[in-house]
Amino acid sequence: MRPIIAVFGILPTIKFRRDKAAVITFETQELSAAMRDSLGGYAGEFGCLAFRPGEKEFSEEEYSKIPDYSPEFRDERTPGKRMRSVLFRVWEQNGKQGGYEEYYRIRMDELITQLKRELDA
């Protein structure tokens, strides 16, 4: 398990999305090179963000009270059905150019080709 990183900063904006997720922007104070490297190693990772206003770090006891991840929303649809739904929304937002079934086949072919390239890499 990689270590917990604690940084101080400001939470200037929170945007709530249609899918009930949130985009949280967090701006830090000036970071040391070591801290930038540490944070960079977590780019794209899924993790837990705990925030408390003020300038005091969390105690070990407070860290131990952070709950394990348990998603509140469990989607009963298959991954394929979820992908079809997301592609439909993208097609709608892009102006419904052409028929959806054709758009779906083209986008799925693009995704499959991209994954095949990863196999060859």
Q: In angstroms, rounded to a whole number, what is the distance separating the alpha carbons of residues 33 and 11?
A: 22
Task: Classify the C-alpha dihedral 92-95-100-105 as positive or negative.
Answer: negative
Number of structural domains found in the chain: 2
pLDDT at 110: 93
70 assigned to some structural domain = no
Classify 54 in phi/psi space as left (phi over 0), alpha (psi -120 to 50) or beta.
left
DSSP-derived 3-state class of residue 51 = coil
Domain that holds residue 49: 9-64
In a shared domain, residues 53 and 13:
yes
96 assigned to some structural domain = yes
Cβ atoms of 51 and 11 within 8 Å: the answer is yes
Contacts of range 28-32, beta carbons closer than 8 Å, 24 or more positions apart:
31/7
Mean pLDDT of 47-64: 83
Mean pLDDT of 8-33: 89
87 assigned to some structural domain = yes
Give residue-wise pLDDT tens across range 60-96.
Answer: 888 788 877 766 655 567 788 888 888 988 998 888 8
In a shared domain, residues 56 and 90:
no
